[in-house]
Amino acid sequence: MTESLAAFQSRLGRALRGQATCPINPDSQGYRFTMTVRRSWCEQRSIIAARAILKLTPDGGKSLVQEYVDHGGGLAWFQAIESEKFLSFLSSRLPDPSHALAICRMSQALAHARRGSSIFKPPDLRVARGPIVHGSHAALVWLYSDPGTVMAAMNAGHLPPLGPPSHAVLFAPGIPALFREATELEVMLWNTLAITEAPPTLVDDLLREGVLMYRPDGSC
C-alpha cells in the first residue's frame, strides 16, 4: 500500500526529531542538509533563551547548547517555554556557586513571578486565613556581589570576584517590578517562616506582594 503524502511528511518530521525511522535515505544530501539546518535553528533558539548567562561560561556556552540540543532541546513551539526548559537544564549543570548560576536562577524566578502576576490578587488581610507559606510564584535568590555591580560587569565583559552570598533578591508577582532586594529581616523570615516572631506589618507587606501566602487548604 502506497503511503500518503501526509503520512510520509509526518514520518519524516518525526525522523528529524529522532522519534521514527527515516522514510528516505538518511545519508542523502537533502536529508543531511535538512538536519544541519534543523540543528542550527535549535541551537539559535537555545542561545536566545539564555544569551546573557551563556556569556559567563568558559566557552560562551557552546558545549552546553550542544548538549541541550543533543538531548532534544530547542524544539518548543513558544520561546517562553523554550527559555524555561533551557534555564532548567542550565541550572543543573552550571558551577555552584557561580555568578552564572545566580543569574540563571534570577531568570527562572523572574519568569515564574511574571507568570503569576496575571492571576495574583493580594489577600484580604482583614480575614484570618490560617498558616502562612512561601508564595506559589515567589523566590529568593542569592547573589555573590552587588546586583548593580554584577550587571555592569556583565556588560563590560568581566565579572567581580566570587565571594560569599551577600545580596538576597526577592521575586514575587505583587512586587511592582517583580523583584527587589530583600532586607536581613525578610531573609530570616523567608528561611524560617517564624511568622509569630515577625512584626505584623512586615508579614502583611510580604503577603500583599505575594512573597508569602496563606496556605490554600488552611491546614497546619
89 within domain boundaries = no
Does residue 121 lie in a domain region? yes
Do 143 and 212 belong to one domain?
Answer: yes
Element (H, E) at 108: helix 99-117
Residue 18 lies in a domain: yes
Does 58 share its domain with 105? no
* pLDDT at residue 17, as a whole number: 55
C-alpha cell at 42: 535549535
116 and 71, same domain (yes or no)? no
Q: How confident is the model at residue 39 (pLDDT cuts 50, 70, 90)?
A: confident
Q: Could you tell me how far CA 142 lies from the centroid of its own chain?
A: 15
pLDDT for the residue 186: 98
List the beta bridge partners of residue 141. Answer: 169
Which residues make Cβ contacts (< 8 Å) with residue 50, sequence separation at least 6? 61, 83, 86, 87, 90, 104, 107
In percent, the amount of the chain with pLDDT more than 90 equals: 50
Q: Is the pLDDT of residue 220 over 50?
A: no
pLDDT digits (tens, 9 = 90+) for 89-148: 999 999 999 999 999 999 999 999 999 999 999 999 988 788 999 999 999 999 998 877
Q: Do 104 and 68 sit in the same domain of this protein?
A: no
63 and 165 fall within a common domain: no
Confidence of residue 10 (pLDDT cuts 50, 70, 90): low
Pair (220, 167) in one structural domain: yes
Of the three residues 46, 78, 110, the one that is the final residue of a domain is: 78
Measured CA to CA, the distance from residue 220 to residue 218 in angstroms comes to 7
Same-domain check for residues 127 and 180: yes
The average pLDDT across 166-176 equals 96
Within-domain flag for 87: no
Could you tell me if residue 85 is inside a domain? no
Please report the pLDDT score of residue 1 as a whole number.
44
Residues 61 and 163 occupy one common structural domain: no
Task: Determine the 3-state secondary structure of 26 from DSSP.
Answer: coil
Among 28, 52, 78, the domain boundary falls at 78
Question: pLDDT-derived band of residue 81, with 50, 70 and 90 as boundaries?
Answer: confident
Among 78, 111, 137, identify where a domain stops: 78
Number of independent structural domains in the chain: 2
Give yes or no: residues 108 and 215 share one domain.
yes
**Structural domain for 62, as ranges:** 8-78
